[in-house]
Amino acid sequence: MISYVGRVSPPTQPVPPEGALYWDYVNGSLYGSLPGSGLWSFIAGTSASGVPATPVVEARLQAVNATVPQSLSFLTTATQMYDLSIYLKSTGAGPGGSTYTETVSYTAADGTGVQTIVLVLHLDVANVIMETYPLLALANTIISTVGGYSAGAAGTPYTIAERIVAMT
């Protein structure tokens, strides 16, 4: 692959047959081409029209072998799509029937109020939950996740990772 350094957006240099990358210093944009395509394609950064094209992580949480409930919250800045990704993992070391519950809440953009999603991680069985939710949330409202143990499960280790991403 060949790298080019540019000054204007979109790139004005010809595309080499073997493919290339082009970095626009003015707008902080990355363009690329596939071998033989003859075309530049916008990859990431800010497009020529000034629109950011890369997702922005707004809030994050990560705890390995956590032994206390975790929570995450984010105040939305615009009515738009937010992507919530959740990873939960149990080693199976919990007492029989024990669980860790993760509750997601957000306010829907269509005015129907607070919406709730509930995930249940069984702590007595080794397992993984991986979920991603596109949430069309109302501006100036909270997207939150709140965790809690079932009776008798407190202190059982689990692993959690969460990201809230603005999908601009």
Does residue 49 belong to any structural domain of this protein? no
Does residue 17 belong to any structural domain of this protein? yes
Residue 62 CB-half CA count within 13 A? 2
Q: What percent of the chain has pLDDT over 70?
A: 67
122 CB burial (10 A radius; 0-12, 13-18, 19+): middle
Residue 108: what pLDDT? 97
Instruction: Provide the whole-model pTM.
Output: 0.70
Number of domains in the chain: 2
Residues facing 63 on adjacent strands: 160
Domain that holds residue 105: 56-166
Q: Which of the residue ranges 45-54, 66-75, 91-100, 105-114 would you say has the lowest mean pLDDT?
A: 45-54
